[in-house]
A = this chain, B = another copy of it.
C-alpha cells in the first residue's frame, strides 16, 4: 500500500476509490464508536438529535429518512431520546397519524456537549494535520454526504 494522498492526478478509478472510502469510514467509526458513558448518548442518538437541533422539528418519518434508517429503527431511537428527556413528541393536529419530534433545551445542550466529547479524539488528531489537509477533509465530508444521499 503506497501512499498517494499527494499523487499527481492518479487514475482515480471509481471502484478503487469506493473501496478505500469504505475501508476508511469503517476504521474512522471504530475509532469513535465507543460509548460515551458520561453523557450516555450513543452515536446514532447524537446524530438524530443533531438533525433536530440544526434542522428544527421533524416528523418521525422525515427523521428516519434524514438518518437513512427504517421507521421502526427511528421509533426506537426517539423512544430512547424521549426517555432521557432530550426530545419531545407531539401529535400533528392536521394529520393525527404523524408524530412530530423536536429537541428539548436539554437535548440541545446534551447534543452539543456530547458531540464535542465524542469527536474530541478525532479533532485532536485533525489538529495535527496541515491546514490544507483539514480543508481537504472538510470538502470531502461534504462530498461524501452528498454521495451518501442521492446526489441532490
Complex Cα gap A143–B21 (Å)? 10
For the complex, give the distance between the alpha carbons of A19 and B5 in Å: 21
| Among listed A28-36, A76-84, A96-104, interface-contacting one | A28-36
A69 at the interface (CB under 8 A from B): yes
The answer for the CA separation of A136 and B68 in the assembled complex, in Å, is 25
Interface residues of A in 4-54 (CB under 8 A from B): 4-7, 9-10, 12, 14-32, 43-44, 47, 50, 54
Write the A109-152 contact mask toward B (1 if CB under 8 angstroms, else 0).
Answer: 00000011011001111111101111111111111111111110
Given contacts A12-B134, A123-B15, contact A141 B24 (CB under 8 A): yes
Complex: A131 Cα to B142 Cα, angstroms: 16
Determine if A18 and B119 form an interchain contact, defined as CB atoms under 8 angstroms apart. yes
Partner of A147 from B22, B69, B129, B151 at Cβ < 8 Å? B129
* Beta-carbon nearest neighbor of A32 in chain B: B22
Query: Which of B4, B28, B118, B144 is close to A138, meaning CB atoms less than 8 Å apart?
Result: B4
Chain B contacts of A127 at CB under 8 A? 14
Inter-chain contacts of A143 with B (CB < 8 A): 1, 5, 129, 133, 136-137
Q: Which 5 A-B pairs have the closest CB atoms?
A: A140-B140, A20-B141, A24-B144, A27-B148, A18-B122
